[in-house]
Amino acid sequence: MNVLGIESSCDETGVALVRCEGPGVPRLLAQALHSQAEMHEAYGGVVPELASRDHIRRVLPLTRQVLAEAGLALGDLDLIAYTRGPGLAGALLVGAGVAVALAAALQRPTFGVHHLEGHLLSPFLADDAPEFPFVALLVSGGHTQLMRVDGVGRYELLGETVDDAAGEAFDKSAKLLGLGYPGGPALARLAAFGNAAAFELPRPLLHSGNLDFSFAGLKTAVMTRVQKLGDNVCDQSRADLAAATQEAIVDVLVAKSMRALKDTGLRRLVVAGGVGANAMLRETLDRQAARRGARVHYPPPALCTDNGAMIALAAALRWQHGLLVPEPDAAFDVHPRWPLEAVAVA
Ligand code: KG4
Ligand code: ZN
């Protein structure tokens, strides 16, 4: 069973091939990615119309590339998976349209994957794949959620952000500090030269007693600090503020993740989504989890941010578990807003 996965929900065109043989974890045969970050940088964020047009240009060449790398032909594909949502409507339609057209030509089934399910299951492509059940911390540009995961398709929401996502907090703070897009990696790089103790920033909802997050207040706090520093801000102050911002975000994510482990009694934490690439988050989670006898699992570094491999994998795992209902021929739509619980099985 060869599964093609197409990801086009935001600013990365990702295509990958996964093979499913027997009951083991499906194997990644090849993957290719084109990031639009450079194209959007001039605008300080993703321009949806430009994103859609670029996905159209990239998706078929990337598909040819992964087929060639895997030594397969189009006719060897058994299932075409694509990201159905959440994401930018026009961008999603590119991946969905290409997937459905390919499937119609090849007379193969299609399956629309939930983007967050892709992130959530991506650690299964790592060498030390986790076992169910586990707590998942999903931290991307648009989402911050803690889930209890009992198996493929068995997801229970434990808590989520009430306003901005953690990635958004990184991106917006980076923008205030005059850093490029995407801001998360840039802010993390600058933070390495800073002293986090130089600025006191809020840790929203840290002691709320539940597993919800809030990051909008942090962004406002960063804004007032930047305004106070004025136009003549020195490089050291910017680095200090970057370090303080990163520490505030990491503190909250780590504290809530530890609380989720405690509340559920589980000893495995899976971290997925772009912010999961953050080195300080990883070090702090590893250290604190070890203290309570828990382990943290991450996707391979290249699969933390958006990619086609996680989409092909999610479809393959669903198929393995009998949870994949092939879609009717050429009938598709995308879901720009789509809660993960909508694809959970009872
Ligand atoms: O999962 P992802 O690639 O796309 C979405 O589904 O949103 O996540 C992108 C987010 C962006 O907000 C980006 O700034 C953040 O992940 N990010 C990071 C790092 N790498 C990516 N944030 C902090 N530190 C990083 N090293
Ligand atoms: Zn994502």
Residue nearest to atom 13 of ligand 1 (CA): 184
Where residue 287 falls among pLDDT bands split at 50, 70, 90?
Answer: very high
The per-residue pLDDT for range 234-247, each reduced to its tens digit, is 999 999 999 999 99
pTM: 0.95
Second CATH level (architecture) for the domain 2-121+303-343: 2-Layer Sandwich (3.30)
The per-residue pLDDT for range 205-226, each reduced to its tens digit, is 999 999 999 999 999 999 999 9
Give CA–CA dist 237/332, Å, rounded.
51
- Structure tokens given for 286: 């590893």
pLDDT at 23: 85
Which residue among 275, 280, 285 is best mutated to probe the pocket of ligand 1, counting the most ligand atoms within 8 A of its Cβ?
Answer: 275
Percent of the chain scoring above 70 in pLDDT: 99
Q: Which ligand is nearest to the CA of 271?
A: 1
Residue nearest to atom 2 of ligand 1 (CA): 274
- The amino acid sitting at 321 is H
- For the domain 132-298, what is the CATH code? 3.30.420.40
Which residue among 33, 138, 140 is best mutated to probe the pocket of ligand 1, counting the most ligand atoms within 8 A of its Cβ?
Answer: 140
Q: Which ligand is nearest to the CA of 301?
A: 1
- Per-residue CA distances from 295 to 285, 298, 321 (Å): 9, 10, 25
* Nearest atom in ligand 1 to 305's CA: 3
**Ligand 1 shell residues, CB under 6 Å:** 10, 140-142, 167, 170-171, 182-185, 188, 273-275, 277-278, 305-306
pLDDT above 90 (res 121): yes
pLDDT at 231: 81
pLDDT at 22: 85
Which residue among 122, 170, 215, 338 is best mutated to probe the pocket of ligand 1, counting the most ligand atoms within 8 A of its Cβ?
Answer: 170
pLDDT above 70 (res 16): yes
pLDDT at 332: 75
Residue nearest to atom 6 of ligand 1 (CA): 140
Could you state, in order of their start, the residue ranges of all structural domains in the chain? 2-121+303-343, 132-298
The per-residue pLDDT for range 319-341, each reduced to its tens digit, is 999 999 877 766 678 999 999 99
For the ranges 38-47, 229-238, 263-272, 318-327, the one whose mean pLDDT is highest: 263-272
Work out the average pLDDT over 313-323.
96
pLDDT above 90 (res 49): yes
* Nearest atom in ligand 1 to 168's CA: 12
Mean pLDDT of the chain: 95
pLDDT above 80 (res 250): yes
Q: How far is CA 174 from the centre of its chain?
A: 19
pLDDT above 90 (res 62): yes
Matching fold, domains 2-121+303-343 and 132-298: yes
* Nearest atom in ligand 1 to 142's CA: 7
Percent of the chain scoring above 90 in pLDDT: 92
pLDDT at 120: 95
